[in-house]
Chain A
Amino acid sequence: MKKKTLFVLLLSAAIVVAYVLLFISANSYVQSVMNMLLYNIVLVLGLNFITGLTGQMNMATAGMMALGAYSFAIADTTYGVNPWLALLMVMALGLAIGRALGYPSLRLQGFFLSLTTIGFNEVVRITVNNLTDITGGATGFKDVKRLPFFFEFPNKNSYFYLNLIFTLIMIAIAVLVVNSKWGRAYKSIRDNWEAAEASGIDVAKLKIQAFTMAAIYSVVAGCMYAGYSQYLNPTAFATSYSQNYVAMLMVGGIGSVPGNILGAALVTVLPEVLRAFQNYYWVMFCTICLLMAIFVPDGLWSVLQKAVRFVKKKLGKGKEVA
């Protein structure tokens, strides 16, 4: 078991190194896609706590991200707060949002909750768009100050390294939570919350916790985005983006961290690879997603797992026979 953990760690390190090497050798277009992938991973990992683990549909990911990005920008650019302090303040805000959105989730099930989150997302977008004096309104928030680092970032894409560190920390936390007692308790809420409650799990507390985690992840992704892009515009936080994050979660694999990363990577990179089919790409992609929702609801990761198990079984049998 320990050997396996070590192996996984080594392999993860190898992937990270490969990713950095690829980044260094890539042109700025590929670099921007790689950057986008990083904050998408963080968003999907956050969404995984609510939708993946506890089974509550959250369509406010983009709205939470907007709150994170704008409050970071306003704190450190408009009011000149130290960027790291601003980041902490934004995370505290995430905590508050999570609590505020988690509370209705205690009373509302399924669709009602998803409607609340859609409403929340829209209200955030409309507010950000119309508070022109504070947020820049539809023209956008320009020149967001970045988090300082050991060296100055000469261009947009070199901000990648800081984003990468953030992403790795967020992945590590997600892995720990998913594999902990919490993670299992979350899943029990999704599978059968009545049974979970009967066996002594504090469903209410866990639901709020899941929302809080998701909100913190989303606002951190918002800060990463604000720092990377240095320009914020309300149209980037519409509800349709929240749907994209749900698609990443569902395509990759609900409930598992590698599945989330896989989903984020596929949904971020595939449109770029398939740009040649631009006109038909989106309809093809959505059809695949729909078919997956019907036939492989647990996502690609579960298919991969099954495939590996199958191959192993075959190989094992082969050995025995030989």
Chain B
Amino acid sequence: MSVFEGVNWLQLLVTAIAMGCIYSLIATEYTLIYNATGLVNFAHESFIVLGAYIFAGTFERALQFPHWLAILLTLVSMAAFGVLVASTILNPLRNLQFVTYAMFGTMMLSRIIIEICRLSWGSLPFTVKGFLRESISIGSTVLSESYIYIIIISVIVITLLQLFFKFTKAGKAMICVSQNKDAAALMGINVTASINLTVAISSVICGIVGILCAPLYNVSSNMVTSAATKGFCAGVIGGFGSYPGAIIGGILIGLIEQFGIIFIPSVWKDALSFGLMIIFLLIRPGGIIKRKKA
């Protein structure tokens, strides 16, 4: 009997796309900050963890709000948090002399947020009972509810983001700022306000990722460590700074790691995506979709 006969390819495909969507959202979320400030936010993992803790720890576990209200309040808190971080930390960091200083700054920010989460919500992993934990049967295939929601919500978020860039003044201003800050300022765009808005949107996406990952990974301080790093890989493979690139890169990594480990021992799953990223960086640093340099 061939090993591949028993594999349920549909199941793998859905999981791969769902995981790919998570990576895409993560790639999109830090691409936003990268485009707006020129900084790679090494603290993005902690933003996601914070979102998950606010949702699951405060609004669900402690206050026992209905899911929709908890989600809404989490996203609002994350937006406020984004504005706070942008104005107090990211803005001073982006004006530093060397990028290494700014990278170090965001690394430390990450550790601070993770520590605050541990101190406020305790170090025990926990979960939200009854939230996206059902399964749906389609023929012989059983699909997890959370994967389906992940795919639907990712598509909505990414579409909304594109519409926002195309059709709103604030969105267009954000594109201008990402292309040339000085010119944008001369055209009467408030660069600082635009950056604050970008970081707020990025934090909201982090919050969404956190909420979607809570039923998947449970809530703990290192719940998305590997997903967050693979989000970076997704950005690099797709093309750093490009939104379509982030999506393509994410889905590609999702597919490669799910289907890849059918052929190699499972322990090498993470090494696959890191290896692929290094190969891309060496052979085609621009990624699949090369961003036009302004």
Contacts and interface: CB of A to CB of B under 8 A. Distances in A.
User: Is chain B a partner of chain A in the same complex?
Assistant: yes
A126 B271 CA distance: 7
Contacts of A123: 271, 274-275, 278
Contact of A246 (B102, B107, B268, B274): B107
A293 interface: yes
Interface centre among A112, A115, A127, A282 (most CB of B within 10 A): A115
B48 interface: no
Interface stretch (A3-11, A22-30, A147-155, A284-292): A284-292
Contact of A282 (B89, B115, B236, B275): B115
B278 A297 contact: no
B111 A104 contact: no
B19 interface: no
A55 B100 contact: yes
Interface string B49-74: 00000000000000000000000000
A115 B101 contact: no
A127 B115 contact: no
Given A126-B271, A247-B104, A290-B105, A190 B281 contact: no
Which label, helix, strand, loop or mixed, suits the secondary structure of the A interface? helix
A110 B103 CA distance: 9
Interface stretch (B90-98, B142-150, B179-187): B90-98
A130 B40 contact: no
B136 interface: no
B267 A283 contact: no
A130 B99 contact: no
Contact of B111 (A107, A119, A286): A286
Which label, helix, strand, loop or mixed, suits the secondary structure of the B interface? helix
A98 B285 CA distance: 20
Nearest to B100: A57
A293 B108 contact: yes
B26 interface: no
A279 interface: yes
A111 B271 contact: no
A120 interface: yes
Contacts of A120: 278
A61 B153 CA distance: 39
A112 B108 contact: no
Contact of A116 (B89, B103, B240, B281): B281
Contacts of A276: none
Nearest to A118: B229
B281 A279 contact: no
A267 to B, nearest CB: 12
A119 B101 contact: no
Given A110-B99, A111-B103, A283-B119, A290 B285 contact: no
A232 to B, nearest CB: 18
Contact of A280 (B111, B119, B265, B285): B119
Interface string A55-71: 11100000000000000
Task: Name the 8 nearest CB pairs between A and B, nearest first.
Answer: A293-B105, A283-B115, A290-B108, A119-B274, A297-B101, A286-B111, A111-B40, A289-B108
Given A56-B100, A107-B285, 12 more contacts: A51-B100, A55-B100, A57-B103, A104-B278, A116-B278, A118-B232, A250-B101, A280-B119, A283-B112, A287-B108, A294-B92, A297-B96
15 contacts: A57-B99, A110-B99, A111-B40, A111-B240, A114-B103, A116-B277, A119-B281, A123-B275, A247-B107, A247-B108, A283-B115, A289-B108, A293-B96, A294-B92, A297-B96
